[in-house]
Amino acid sequence: MTEKPRLSARIAAIAESATLKVDAKAKALQAEGRPVISYAAGEPDFATPEHIVEAALAAVRDPKNHRYTPAAGLPDLREAIAAKTARDSGLEASASQVVVTNGGKQAVYQAFQTLLDDGDEVLVPTPYWTTYPEAIKLAGGRQVDVFAGADQGYLVTVDQLEAARTERTKALLFVSPSNPTGAVYSPEQVREIGEWALEHGIFVVADEIYQNLTYGPIDGDADAPAPRAVSIVEAVPALAEQAILVNGVAKTYAMTGWRLGWMVGPADLMKGAANLQSHLTSNVSNISQRAALAALTGPQEPVEQMRRAFDRRRRTIVAELSKIDGFTVPVPEGAFYVYPDMTGLLGREWGGVTPSSSLELADLILDQAEVAAVPGEAFGPSGYLRFSYALGDEALLEGVQRLQRLFG
Give the nearest distance from C-beta 109 to ligand GLU in angstroms: 12
Q: Does 102 bind ligand GLU (CB under 6 A)?
A: no
For residues 20 and 158, which CB has a smaller minimum distance to ligand GLU in the complex?
20
Give CA–CA dist 190/192, Å, rounded: 6
User: Which positions from 176 through 235 interact with ligand GLU, judged by CB under 6 A?
Assistant: 179
- Count of CA atoms in the C-beta half-sphere (13 A) of 23: 16
Of 92, 30, 407, give the one whose Cα is nearest residue 264. 92
Give the nearest distance from C-beta 183 to ligand GLU in angstroms: 15
Each residue 125-144 as x (binds ligand GLU by CB under 6 A) or -, in order, gives ----xxx-------------
For residues 136 and 202, which CB has a smaller minimum distance to ligand GLU in the complex?
136
What are the φ and ψ backbone dihedral angles of 350, each rounded to 5 degrees? -130, 115
Which SS3 state, helix, strand or coil, does residue 224 take? Answer: coil
Each residue 167-186 as x (binds ligand GLU by CB under 6 A) or -, in order, gives ------------x-------
- Count of CA atoms in the C-beta half-sphere (13 A) of 268: 5
Length of the chain: 408
From 26, 38, 39, 42, residue interacting with ligand GLU (rule: CB under 6 A): 42
User: Taking contact as CB under 6 A, which single stretch among the options 37-45, 48-56, 199-207, 227-235 is the one that binds ligand GLU?
Assistant: 37-45
For residues 293 and 374, which CB has a smaller minimum distance to ligand GLU in the complex?
374
Q: Does 277 bind ligand GLU (CB under 6 A)?
A: no
For residues 69 and 179, which CB has a smaller minimum distance to ligand GLU in the complex?
179
Buried b (16+ CB within 10 A) or exposed e, 165-203: beeebbbbbbbbbbbbbbbbbeeebbbbbbbbbbeeebb
Q: Does 106 bind ligand GLU (CB under 6 A)?
A: no
For residues 40 and 239, which CB has a smaller minimum distance to ligand GLU in the complex?
40
For residues 337 and 407, which CB has a smaller minimum distance to ligand GLU in the complex?
337
Measuring CA to CA, how many Å separate 101 from each of 47, 64, 105, 255? 22, 20, 8, 14
Check if the beta carbon of residue 233 is closer than 8 Å to that of residue 70. no
Buried b (16+ CB within 10 A) or exposed e, 329-349: bbbbbbbbbbbbbbbebbeee
Pairing of strands 98-101, 261-264: antiparallel
From 26, 36, 41, 155, residue interacting with ligand GLU (rule: CB under 6 A): 41
Q: Does 20 bind ligand GLU (CB under 6 A)?
A: yes
Give CA–CA dist 387/374, Å, rounded: 7
For residues 126 and 179, which CB has a smaller minimum distance to ligand GLU in the complex?
179
- Please count the residues of this chain forming the interface with ligand GLU, following the rule CB under 6 A: 10
Residues contributing to the site for ligand GLU (CB under 6 A): 17, 19-20, 41-43, 129-131, 179
